[in-house]
Structure 1
Amino acid sequence: MNDKASQSPATPLLGAGEIRRLAEELGIRPTKTLGQNFVIDGNTIRRIVSAADVDPSETVLEVGPGLGSLTLGLLDAAKHVVAVEIDPVLAARLPETIAQWRPERVDSYDVVQADALRVTELPADPSALVANLPYNVAVPVVLHLLAQFPSIRHGLVMVQDEVADRLAAPPGSKVYGVPSVKAAWYGTMRKAGVIGMNVFWPAPKIASGLVAFERHDPPQTSASREEVFAVIDAAFAQRRKTLRAALAGWAGGAARAEEALVSAGVEPSARGEVLDIHAFARIAEGKPKP
């Protein structure tokens, strides 16, 4: 860990009182629609920043900065922070919060008022993604950002604990599924801890999980990412079916699906839960021509 990520407890961060005062000032209440749960515990912020292992030379992409709790911690660790916030009120207030709490870092951040699911350009190329993601869109946001910004090499996201388990699940696990396989296209995901409910306002009804990732090259394949992901979607659409049956619609018939599976070295009676991303790529390569 670098020294900046291992922050001193004396580093001023937003606590419960500051968060509630800011929210009252802005006349806002966290909304379920946007999946807003604000972190109100400074030690939790320090734990997240430390686990993210941000280097002082890095530009970090933060999604959903909210009232700025995590943003301040990231500014202590990184060279630059790009914060993407969908809520226009919160996006407009963040610069003032940074100026008040980190006046020496006012030239070290950008705020982008946008939907993270649709953002395609940023004012700087991020090398890390660190975010407290809304539970309802966590997986699509992670997959979109990794696809859209290849400069992202590593990161840490906080998501609903069961979503964290799915993202980090290996083949054969009970919770291995579409998020697990698609995430593996981009990198290696691992569970990096659990965060309790009482460090948020409002407190969610389930614990949160930390997922750390390191990007790696996608599988070497002649199939496109879209073609591989189409196989993954079909394989898990009906989990109890064998791959021969599950991929029949994708391949144009069960016999054609079996042909693609055999060509890929996959047993047609197997199920998608046991295959890794490389196997799905081989299947996509072997899709029979119409």
Structure 2
Amino acid sequence: MNSPPLLLLQQSLPPISPTENLIQLKTPLPVHNSIPGTRTPVSSSSSSSSSLSYIRACAGKTTRRVGGGRRGNPDDYHATLTALNSKGRFPRKSLGQHYMLDSEINEQLTAAANVGEGDVVLEIGPGTGSLTNVLISAGAFVLAIEKDPHMATLVSERFSETERFKVLKEDFVKCHIHSHMSSLLASIEPSSADSRYAKVVANIPFNISTDVVKQLLPMGDIFSEVVLLLQEETALRLVESSLRTSEYRPINIFVNFYSDPQFICKVPRTKFFPQPNVDAAVVKFKLKQPVHYPSVSSTKSFFSMVNSAFNGKRKMLRRSLQHICTPMEIENALGNVGRPATSRPEELSMDDFVKLHNLIVKV
């Protein structure tokens, strides 16, 4: 009988038996690429095979060649669930944990960042290590940040036999990631000019996506590319929001100030365990180096002005920015920018805001 996937969160994934001939998952696993709202039991033989595959993958023995490249255990569906099973772990809603079950998505994330031999990659929230496995197999050294100590231990054990992986048990939004990455890059002799920069590839919790974006994008001196798996709505808002729309906000100015964003692909919610209520998407941010940022006298005062402008979104800029200078001076500046005196914030592009800032803000 079919049961809602939500029931899976109310059941404990049974532990793996230490004896090979007794390996059997009594609780049915959600079907890979299943129709939402249904699940189908997995046979004991199938469960046994997938469990053993995961154990071998942990030992670094399950690799194969694909198109001239090396790839790890391709069955992320069973590997992920078996890893959770082995530790008796539930995905924690408070941490926004939704694990990817499809290796092809992990490969798309890796390919979007052009990860290759010798690259240094930051991964946020590695979980059971399915994406980590693909990154390492592509030849990268992976520094992972994991807030959940149980998952940090799990992924550390999984990749204990490789020197290409290190996990830090920290909360990403609170850790000094710039310092960590600077030290790591300084310890590695660059093989090329591009290898002086690290990359970010991560399936991040949806509830911290904006915080992660705000923290990473200004680090063009450390990272060259940031590829994230985000909630689809957030991805579209960051990449495709246009002038004169309700979705146009200060974050759009921020994203385009520090990067060139690109929407890569949509990811259906059925690719995750547990299944979230929304679809996801892969987004790539090509970071600008500091010398290529828009020319403003102070980034702090620039974004302060932008935020003030949008705090009074329905107001004309000559009113919402009058704490900076007089309405007449703002009208004159808008004229010099090529905008009418009655302009509102959603009518100005990033370049317009840069010009306006340089005309009215005295630093």
Partner of 1:112: 168
Question: CA contact under 8 A between 2:125 and 2:202: conserved in structure 1?
Answer: yes
Residue equivalent to 2:266: 194
Amino acid at match of 1:242: M
Choose which of 206, 213, 218 in structure 2 pairs with 1:142: 213
Match of 2:252 in 1: 180
Instruction: Specify the alignment match of 1:279 in structure 2.
Output: 352
Counterpart code for 2:252:
S
* Paired position in structure 2 for 1:20: 81
Q: In 2, Cα distance between the equivalents of 1:90 and 1:17?
A: 17
The question of whether the paired residues in 2 share the 8 Å contact of 1:60 and 1:78 is answered with no
CA offset at residue 135 of structure 1?
1.1
Q: Does residue 31 of the first structure (1) align with residue 105 of the second (2)? A: no
TM-score by length of 2: 0.70
- Whole-Å separation in 2 of the counterparts to 1:271 and 1:55: 45
- Check if 1:53 corresponds to 2:53: no
- CA distance in 1 between partners of 2:254 and 2:266 (Å): 22
AA in 1 matched with 2:308: A
- Mapped to 2, the partners of 1:239 and 1:5 lie a distance apart of 52
The residue that corresponds to 2:155 in the other structure is 94
Match status 1:159 vs 2:215: no
Match in the other structure for 2:295: 220
Hey, what's the Cα distance between the residues in 2 that align with 1:190 and 1:173? Answer: 21
Structure 2 residue 325 is matched with structure 1 residue 269: no
Secondary structure class of the residue paired with 1:270 = coil
Of the structure 1 ranges 139-148 and 118-127, higher mean CA displacement relative to structure 2 is found in: 118-127
- Please state how far the C-alpha of 1:259 moved relative to its aligned partner: 5.2
**Residue 231 of structure 1: how far off its partner (Å):** 1.7
Residue ranges of structure 1 left out of the alignment (5+ in a row): none
Question: 1:232 is matched with which residue?
Answer: 306
| Cα RMSD, aligned residues only | 2.6
Could you tell me how far apart the structure 1 residues matched to 2:96 and 2:218 are? 23
Whole-angstrom distance in 1 between the partners of 2:220 and 2:90: 32
Note if contact 1:171-1:275 (Cα within 8 Å) is conserved in structure 2.
no
Give the Å deviation of 1:268. Answer: 3.3
TM superposition shift of 1:96: 1.0
Q: Which has the larger radius of gyration?
A: 2
User: Match of 1:67, SS?
Assistant: coil
Cα distance in 2, alignment partners of residues 129 and 19 from structure 1: 21
What runs of 5+ residues in structure 2 fail to find an aligned partner? Answer: 1-64, 186-196
1:208, CA displacement in angstroms?
A: 0.4
State the Cα deviation string for residues 268-288 of structure 1 (Å, max 9, x = none). 322222323232222333335
Compare 191-200 and 82-91 and name the one that shifted more. 82-91
Using the size of structure 1 for normalisation, the TM-score is 0.86
2:70/2:138 contact within 8 Å kept: no
CA distance in 2, matches of 1:129, 1:107: 19
Of 34-43 and 139-148, deviating more is 139-148
- 1:160-197 Cα offsets, whole Å, 9 max, x none, are 10110111125426333222110111110011110001
Q: Secondary structure at the match of 2:310?
A: helix
Change (3 A) 1:92 1:148: farther
Residues 55-87 of structure 1 show CA distances to partners (whole Å, capped at 9, x for unaligned) of 323111111111111111111224311111111
Cα distance change, pair 78–226 in 1 and its aligned pair in 2 (3 A): farther
CA distance in 1, matches of 2:172, 2:340: 39
1:17 Cα deviation from its structure 2 partner: 2.4
Asked if 1 retains the 8 angstrom alpha-carbon contact of 2:136 and 2:164, the reply is yes
Query: Cα–Cα, structure 1 residues 225 and 94, in superposed 2: closer, same or farther, change >3 Å?
Result: same
In structure 1, distance between residues paired with 2:81 and 2:102:
12
Matching residue's letter, 2:285: F
CA distance, structure 2, for counterparts of residue 170 and residue 127 of structure 1: 28
